Amino acid sequence: MIEMDVAVIGTGYVGLVTGACLAEKGHRVHCIDIDESRVQQLNNAISPIYEEGIEELLKNGINNDNLFFTTDYKEGLHQKDIVFLAVGTPESEDGSADLSYLYKASETMASYVDRDVTVVIKSTVPVGTGEQIGDKLNSLVSPGVNIRMASNPEFLRQGTAVYDTFHADRIVVGANHPDAQKQLEELYHSFQLPIVVTDIRSAEMIKYTANSFLAMKISFINEVANLSEKLGANIESVTEGIGMDKRIGSSFLNAGIGFGGSCFPKDTKAMVQIAESVNMPLSLIEKVISVNEKQREILVDKVKSRFTSLKGLEVAILGLSFKPNTDDMREAASISIIRKLVDDGVKVTAYDPVAMERAKQILPEQVNYTNSIEEAIKGKQATLIVTEWDQIKDFPLDKYVELMTSPVIMDGRNCFDMKEVQKHKIEYHSIGRKTINNLS
């Protein structure tokens, strides 16, 4: 294997996982970040993100002397073969990607690059950005130094990012220069994964297209679920029936209260914005976004049609993070649901296995927090399930009967098997399935 000298700028989600995984494969990796306390933490093998397996990789890399964290661009960029740009590209007010961190990082790096190098954009960026950054870098670096650009988008899911990196379905390498392509193929050789080689613009397009397509699958199945519920069909049977058709596939068709997180909402909006900017509107993706926004309200609608008055109603919310196994609250469905309930005078008690500290900074101050599911549901008139943590899925249904004033469950993630629910004296509403009412 060819061991390479790599720098990764930005130790957020993508940069950190990329750097740690490349080091695990034997490359020498310097990760650069401007945040001093973060760098200090990382040098002690403490991860600032909650991610399975990451701290073990940090320990390995630090002990093997091939993973370093620094705030010093000069040290980090010294004699590198490849530099990854993995800084954030958050959403601007108009929905477009904010590239200011990327411009800043590339301007700073330009002064310290000391030999010909391949610069790889990992951040999700509008089509054309790679070429633009390449022109800018080449105009700023010392005479005689050449920058070759490449695009290498990531498809990691939070919570399984390390696993996803080592077991990716494909690695996308976008390069306009054969040397850049060759270097990236060598870098990833030991991963033994299929590599799709394209030009830079197509690689940038692949990232937005993949995320928008997956978001479209979710909005599609959610609309079908709502219709199935209305017509007395069962969405799980419908999904099984369509998913066995290989042209459709069965993954990413779980109906629920919509998609959240740091990628799908941001990237669908950015793609719409990019399309508008070249006068080529993407009406389908616009619809994917609006269907998702409506889907987030569905549990609140169910509460409103079930209870005559919301004022003073005591409700438990189980799960706050945008999905299980993360403490990330970005675009979590829980935020809009809880805000609406609190506005209507509902008394909300919330529980999440890991996201409560983050949630407290975002949710209305009227929300109460508890340390267990039992405490959350005790004495409540309704329980809303917002995130499908295993702990919540495995919680015995008997307990709802025992602890709640009226065991009404509104399950936004279809956590329970309908046959199992039928055995209990509860009222159970879910998504795309019949309501079960065993209370009377």
Cβ contact 190:26 at 8 Å: yes
By CB under 6 A, how many residues form the interface with ligand UDX? 19
Minimum CB separation of residue 72 from ligand UDX in Å reads 30
Helix (H) or strand (E) holding 173: strand 171-175
Annotate each residue in 218-247 with x if it binds ligand UDX (CB under 6 A) or - if it does not, as one string: x-----------------------------
Among the options 21, 31, 263, 415, which is catalytic? Answer: 263
Binding piece for ligand UDX, criterion CB under 6 A, among 49-57, 155-163, 399-407, 427-435: 155-163
What angle in degrees, to the nearest 10, is found between the helix axes of 129-140 and 100-110? 30
Cβ contact 113:81 at 8 Å: no
The residue whose Cβ lies closest to ligand UDX is: 263
Q: Assess 157 for contact with ligand UDX (CB under 6 A).
A: yes
Q: Assess 256 for contact with ligand UDX (CB under 6 A).
A: yes
Q: Assess 170 for contact with ligand UDX (CB under 6 A).
A: no
C-alpha closest to that of 62 among 45, 87, 83: 45
Binding site annotation covers 323? yes
Contacts of residue 349, Cβ cutoff 8 Å, sequence gap at least 6:
314, 315, 316, 317, 367, 368, 369, 370, 375, 376, 380
Q: Assess 173 for contact with ligand UDX (CB under 6 A).
A: no
C-alpha closest to that of 249 among 258, 257, 261, 241: 241
Q: Assess 254 for contact with ligand UDX (CB under 6 A).
A: yes
Binding site annotation covers 423? no
Give the β-pairing of 436-437 and 427-429. antiparallel
357, two tokens: 């500290």
Q: How many helices (H) and strands (E) does the chain have?
A: 19, 15
Binding site annotation covers 134? no
Minimum CB separation of residue 374 from ligand UDX in Å reads 25
Question: Cβ closer to ligand UDX: 147 or 272?
Answer: 272
Question: Cβ closer to ligand UDX: 153 or 407?
Answer: 153
Cβ contact 55:45 at 8 Å: yes
C-alpha closest to that of 9 among 90, 107, 92: 107
Q: Assess 123 for contact with ligand UDX (CB under 6 A).
A: no
127, two tokens: 């089509």
Binding piece for ligand UDX, criterion CB under 6 A, among 260-268, 336-344, 372-380, 418-426: 260-268
- Assess whether 263 carries a catalytic annotation: yes
Q: Assess 182 for contact with ligand UDX (CB under 6 A).
A: no
Other beta carbons less than 10 A from residue 60's beta carbon = 15
Round to whole Å and give the CA distance between 394 and 127.
44
Q: Could you list the residues that contact ligand UDX (CB under 6 A)?
A: 154-158, 211, 214, 218, 252-254, 256, 259-261, 263-264, 322-323
Q: Detail the residues annotated as belonging to a binding site for substrate.
A: 207, 252-256, 260, 323
Positions marked catalytic = 263
Q: Detail the residues annotated as belonging to a binding site.
A: 33, 38, 89, 124, 207, 252-256, 260, 266, 323, 330
